[in-house]
Amino acid sequence: MQASMAISEGVKDTAQSVVEVMSKAGVIGLPRNYELYYEAYAGSNEALRVALSKLGPRPTQLDLDQLSRDFFALNNREGIVESAHDQITEKIEEVMRLLMRERNSLEKYGTILDRTSAGLSGHRALNVDILRKIVGIMAVATDSTIEQGRQIASSIADRSAELEDVKTKLVEYKKLADTDPLTQLDNRRAFDRAMAAIYQDEKGRLFNALIVADVDRFKEVNDRYGHPTGDHVLQQLSHILRTCAADNMPVARTGGEEFGIIVEGLSEEATLRVGEDIRRAIEKASFRDNSGLALDETITVSVGVCMASEATSADDLYAKADQALYASKNGGRNRVTKFPVADKPPARKSWLIYRTD
């Protein structure tokens, strides 16, 4: 692996380290680039790490985009949405063409009726043969129009079903684009949006809070049992988080072994209780490796809590919750700390890691 792409194991600020590595490599700070580097170095995707390393110390944006497509195909939201938009447009245009055919068919039938009516009213010498001929013409025209209507109705039903299928797939793809593939929790992209929404009005600032949790000594788990077991631990832990959180609480995997829970409508005491419930549930859980064998050691998390009213922005809220988290780490781990804390270490990282500039 290139020396310029290595991240020191002793550096706590993984997010900042990833940004520094990208900067040294001359990589633009786009969201998709950050996602690649973060997953390669802070996650457990060894194949991605190797593939990224093979690009060399100064990878091109073209190479990075191809790598992103290879490893995060389901998360290429823009391409998926554009494709679905094209398909939806095509189906709607097909329906419009069918409706135009139906309109033309009915207009033609109406013309036949008008001519026949005019012919009958103006014909002085009607006889059986003429009437039979008129009836025959009308019968053929009517049958043809009815059959045309049936075919068009069937075709419209088919196009409508196809349109619904495209719309359903689009909803599924959008969900996948906001879902962490390992844990099935929200990913960082979805978390960023939910965080930004807190400060869109005063109500959000007054009635929201953030809980952040980080697995204690997770590197030791990976080193001892291997990354597949580490992944399995994260999946089990994610299930506990989702169980402890209410349905209206977004739960996200914000980094390798870091998680965020956005709390709405709870008091400070109740929010701390959620954090403590999470900490206790994880401490008491029996974690297993991917073959089903119980791990020897207890898995614990350190938790930080900050009320949205204590911060001025989403960035500030994340920094202060993270500050409380590291007070828990420094205080011995496996505990819950609320901001403000007595000892205030430097802010560990910025909340807004997906930047557009």
Active-site residue list: 257
Written as one letter, the residue type at 105 is S
The span from the CA of 232 to the CA of 349, in Å, is: 27
Q: Could you tell me whether strands 208-215 and 301-307 are parallel, antiparallel, or unpaired per DSSP bridges?
A: antiparallel
In angstroms, rounded to a whole number, what is the distance separating the alpha carbons of residues 339 and 306?
5
The three-state DSSP-derived secondary structure of 84-131 is HHHHHHHHHHHHHHHHHHHHHHHHHHHHHHHHHHHHHHHCCCCCHHHH
Nearest to 107 by CA among 216, 65, 115: 115
State the Cα–Cα distance between residues 40 and 278, nearest whole angstrom. 28
Of 248, 342, 354, which is closest to residue 36 (Cα–Cα)? 354
Query: How big is the chain by its Cα radius of gyration, in Å?
Result: 31
CB 254 within 8 A of CB 191: yes
Q: Are 246 and 270 in contact (CB under 8 A)?
A: no
Q: Residue 348's CB: how many other CB atoms inside 10 A?
A: 18
In this structure, the strands spanning 301-307 and 336-338 are parallel
Cβ atoms of residues 308 and 205 within 8 Å: yes
Q: Which residue has the tokens 């189906």?
A: 91
Cα(317)–Cα(255) distance, integer angstroms: 17
61 residue type, one letter: Q
Interatomic CA distance for residues 179 and 183, integer angstroms: 8
**Between the CA of residue 35 and those of 6, 76, 160, 185, 254, what are the distances in Å?**
16, 12, 37, 16, 11
* Alpha-carbon gap, residue 129 to 135, rounded angstroms: 10
